[in-house]
Amino acid sequence: MLMTAGEYIESLRRLNLNLYLLGEKVENWVDHPIIRPSINAVAMTYKLAHEPENETLATTNSPLTGQKVNRFAALFQSTDDLVNKVKLQRQMGQRTACCFQRCVGMDGINAAYSTTYEMDQKHGTEYHQRFREWLKYIQEKDLCVCGAMTDVKGDRGLAPSEQVDPDLFVHITERRKDGIVIRGAKAHQTGVANSHEMLIMPTLRMREADKDYAVTCAIPTDAEGITMIYGRQSCDTRKLEEGDIDVGNYSFGGQEVLVILDDVFVPWERVFMCGEIDFSIMLVERFAAYHRQSYGGCKAGIGDVLIGAAASMADYNGVRRAAHIRDKLGEMIHLAETIHACGLACSYQGWRTEAGNYQPDTLLANVCKLNVTRFPYELCRLAEDIAGGLLVTTPSEKDFRHPVLGKYIEKYLKGVADVPTEARFRMLSLIHAMSFGQIAPSYRTESMHGAGSPQAQKIMIERETDMPRKQELARIIAGIDEREDILG
């Protein structure tokens, strides 16, 4: 069953979340003005699945159910699937101009699928079959899954088992006949309050003493023992005001939540790793490759909107033909397309895992994400440059609507004569929202830390590069090793 956007939103009302925002428990969180834009962004993933022109991108046939399923809950069965994923993510970025939140779950599903298979092959466990049954359930119900990898970590210089407080990494506190009990917290959880299920995963390489921290499992988002604390967004209370101009992107937004797991019970059929420390890093690195690939789609798509906004402001300001404006817009296009090219490249270079699903090229996926830690910053800087200083000094929408003040604003903040002042206001507010972060998480900051900060990518790039071969090539060309005989 493929849910519609409306059916997805109604399905959330049946959840009993323990969710807090600004110090208060939120009862009707589906209609809360700060939260609803993030729900709308996820709903777009359901809408695209019903658009005939996007069927190839947004849906695929499942080898588990034999039915058409939403790509955000699907396995990648070929390099074409990996490519379509990135293209879908770019369109989603174009349609929402924000994080649409389902990529972490999709990437976690595929990483866990191949890792559980290889774990079973080595240890004789039955995790893979459990995972397949759970995934069939997700696909048949068309549920939204939050991939939960990032722990709060505490002292970064200490391993999980060395922390003064053992709960700073999610861990198993009890193994029972019918399942396990877990405790801890997951930070920066993208879209978890808009999801039906959480896929818990370890966050780093584990050692022998860390066995209780090597855990992968699935839990409903409204399971007993879960508390969610909604993350702040820059300018988030603008959404509580009347009007829509000051919000910038009124319809859509992202979501980040701190999730507390206070002795949550998980039945064995939903446990997919339980102490197998030798496979924790495989799961982490495979997930990281998928998620760093993802940024080649979404960040290019969001960049497209920012480029369009900057070009519009150049039109509204009457400077579109200026050589330096055209140069800056050309650079913005180059940056967005470079991000997308890397996402496509690691997809085309993908490889088949032992489990049968496909993994993007790890080296190129990390190159993609390292570019993303830099290029959106420059995209934002150029957009801010083109927009002008009014970007951060505009009066409020209440002033603009004021019977006396509004006439002055209309007169003195006008750009070119044939463009309404309100259009200029709206475009400035959109750039402000995208650059400064009232669309959580901001295009700028999330590009730095999402899917790992720059050093994580540099480590993987160095590790994945065949440096001995590069050195051998240099020695051959230099004549230190025997030169290649072009006639031989």
Structure confidence at residue 447 as a pLDDT band (50, 70, 90): confident
- Specify whether 331 is located in the same domain as 403: yes
pLDDT of 440 above 60: no
Q: Residue 369: which residues within 8 A CB-CB, separation 6 or more?
A: 291, 292, 295, 451, 452, 457
Residues 423-433: tens digit of each pLDDT: 999 999 999 99
Structure confidence at residue 235 as a pLDDT band (50, 70, 90): confident
* Average pLDDT value for residue range 311-322: 97
- Which tokens is 123 given? 């240890």
For 47-105, give the secondary structure using H, E and C.
Answer: HHCCCHHHHHHHEEECCCCCCEEEHHHCCCCCHHHHHHHHHHHHHHHHHHCCCCCCHHH
Count the Cβ atoms, other than its own, within 10 Å of residue 370.
21
Structure-token match 């379509």, residue found: 84
Work out whether strand 197-200 and strand 215-220 pair parallel, antiparallel, or are unpaired: antiparallel
- Specify whether 346 is located in the same domain as 222: no
pLDDT of 286 above 70: yes
- Specify whether 446 is located in the same domain as 320: yes
Distances (CA, A) of 203 to 72, 218, 430: 22, 15, 34
Longest dimension (CA), the chain: 87
- Residues with catalytic function: 99, 103, 190, 256, 291, 295, 298, 446
pLDDT of 141 above 70: yes
End-of-domain residue from the set 277, 292, 322: 277
- Specify whether 215 is located in the same domain as 302: no
pLDDT of 100 above 80: yes
Work out whether strand 179-190 and strand 171-175 pair parallel, antiparallel, or are unpaired: antiparallel
Residues 21-54: tens digit of each pLDDT: 999 999 999 999 999 999 999 999 999 999 999 9
Instruction: Give me the CATH number covering residue 390.
Output: 1.20.140.10
- Which tokens is 379 given? 């995209």
pLDDT of 126 above 60: yes
Vertex 123: Cα angle to 117 and 126 (nearest 5): 55
Does a structural domain hold residue 473? no
Q: How far apart are CA 34 and CA 237, in angstroms?
A: 7
Helix 127-141 and helix 103-123: axis angle, to 10°?
A: 150
- Which tokens is 24 given? 């208060």
- Specify whether 388 is located in the same domain as 447: yes
Q: Note the Cα 464 to chain centre separation in Å.
A: 23
Structure-token match 């996926």, residue found: 365
Does a structural domain hold residue 431? yes
Count of helices and strands (H, E) across the chain: 16, 14
Does a structural domain hold residue 487? no
3-state helix, strand and coil shares in percent for the chain, rounded to the nearest 5: 55, 15, 30
- Specify whether 331 is located in the same domain as 449: yes
H or E stretch covering 267 = strand 256-267
- Specify whether 44 is located in the same domain as 164: yes
Distances (CA, A) of 98 to 41, 63, 406: 8, 31, 30
pLDDT at 439 (0 to 100): 55
Structure confidence at residue 450 as a pLDDT band (50, 70, 90): confident
- Which tokens is 92 given? 């989603």
Structure-token match 């022109």, residue found: 53
Q: How far apart are CA 89 and CA 455, in angstroms?
A: 25
pLDDT over 90 percentage in the chain: 95
Q: How far apart are CA 385 and CA 90, in angstroms?
A: 25
Domain of residue 209, residue span: 5-277
* Average pLDDT value for residue range 330-358: 98
Does 171 or 451 have the greater pLDDT score? Answer: 171
Contact call for residues 440 and 231 (beta carbons, < 8 A) = yes
Does a structural domain hold residue 483? no
Does a structural domain hold residue 477? no
- Specify whether 107 is located in the same domain as 48: yes
Work out whether strand 19-21 and strand 226-230 pair parallel, antiparallel, or are unpaired: parallel
Distances (CA, A) of 22 to 15, 192, 206, 232: 21, 17, 35, 8
Kindly report the average pLDDT of the chain as a whole number: 96
The total of structural domains in the chain comes to: 2
- The conformation of residue 396, written as its DSSP 8-state character, comes to P
pLDDT at 438 (0 to 100): 58
Instruction: Give, rounded to a whole angstrom, the gap between the first and last alpha carbons of the chain.
Output: 62
- Specify whether 327 is located in the same domain as 404: yes
pLDDT at 448 (0 to 100): 86
Vertex 444: Cα angle to 73 and 49 (nearest 5): 25
Instruction: Give me the CATH number covering residue 71.
Output: 2.40.110.10
- Specify whether 246 is located in the same domain as 338: no
Q: How far apart are CA 441 and CA 382, in angstroms?
A: 20
Q: Which amino acid is at 149?
A: M
End-of-domain residue from the set 220, 254, 277: 277
- Which tokens is 157 given? 């210089």
pLDDT at 441 (0 to 100): 56
- The conformation of residue 442, written as its DSSP 8-state character, comes to P
User: 192, 194, 181, 69: which is closest to 135 by C-alpha?
Assistant: 69
Does a structural domain hold residue 482? no
Report the predicted TM-score, pTM, of the whole model to 2 decimal places. Answer: 0.96
Helix runs in 211-357, H state only: 280-317, 323-348
Residues 191-210: tens digit of each pLDDT: 999 999 999 999 999 999 99
Secondary structure of residue 158 in the 3-state scheme: coil
Contact call for residues 194 and 12 (beta carbons, < 8 A) = yes
Does a structural domain hold residue 412? yes
Distances (CA, A) of 88 to 50, 183, 373, 413, 453: 13, 35, 21, 38, 24
Q: How far apart are CA 367 and CA 365, in angstroms?
A: 5
Point out which residues pair with 171 in neighbouring strands.
183
- Specify whether 221 is located in the same domain as 325: no
Residues 347-366: tens digit of each pLDDT: 999 999 999 999 999 999 99
